[in-house]
Chains A and B, each alone.
Chain A
């Protein structure tokens, strides 16, 4: 069974902490994505990667960075967490880009920054 695994389901951090959200996929997918989901705003793209060591900014990259050292792993980094980064974070992956290529999602990480 294909799987995208996010390391934590719930996470509570303090303002100013450095936060790592980890995502691993076992489908040998080239593409990986980080979205955040907020009520009334839907899913918004933070960063994505189409290859190892490659990254592209999405619609809301400010305050975030990413790392993709291995094909299967895509990490989202909050360098200095702030309360407005309290959100649900969803990782997704897909194989390379035909129009009908669907995303496979992890179960999400609900991050609270206090």
Chain B
């Protein structure tokens, strides 16, 4: 079964607007970590933000925030004030902790295009 689901293959957003990229996950492990990565056209994978399953507050890093809704098993990435440089692929990923040192599992990604 797919553990990470990103339902939006592609999205468009106007420059300076906010955008939400959806991510839902599936786990029975009570302890897990959620990650978002950005991949520009250059191909490098850039870590954006992390949320732990026991974190009480939603994670924020500059213009990035993670809208964590544990009961709904959703970890949406919110980008505020979009910039042209935000155009990229975005991947959501999860690590389960109680199963041991498990690798990150990635979703299929969302391609974001920022329009001037």
Contact = CB atoms under 8 A, between A and B. Distances in A.
A33 B43 contact: no
B35 to A, nearest CB: 6
A20 to B, nearest CB: 20
Contacts of A33: 103-104
Given A31-B101, A42-B91, A96-B101, A105 B44 contact: yes
Given A99-B31, A99-B52, A100-B52, A45 B47 contact: no
Contacts of A110: 43
Contacts of B93: 43
A90 B104 CA distance: 13
A43 B106 contact: yes
Nearest to A104: B47
A103 B8 CA distance: 24
A46 B35 CA distance: 20
Contacts of A100: 33, 50, 52
Contacts of A102: 35, 47, 50
A42 B9 CA distance: 10
Size bracket of the A interface: 20 to 34
Interface string A45-70: 10010100000001000000000000
A103 B93 CA distance: 11
Nearest to A47: B103
Given A97-B101, A99-B32, A102-B35, A107 B109 contact: no
Interface of B: 6, 9, 31-33, 35, 42-45, 47, 50, 52-53, 91, 93, 95, 97, 100-109
Given A88-B43, A107-B42, 17 more contacts: A33-B103, A33-B104, A40-B9, A42-B91, A43-B91, A44-B106, A48-B103, A50-B101, A58-B103, A97-B102, A99-B31, A99-B32, A99-B53, A102-B35, A102-B47, A105-B45, A110-B43
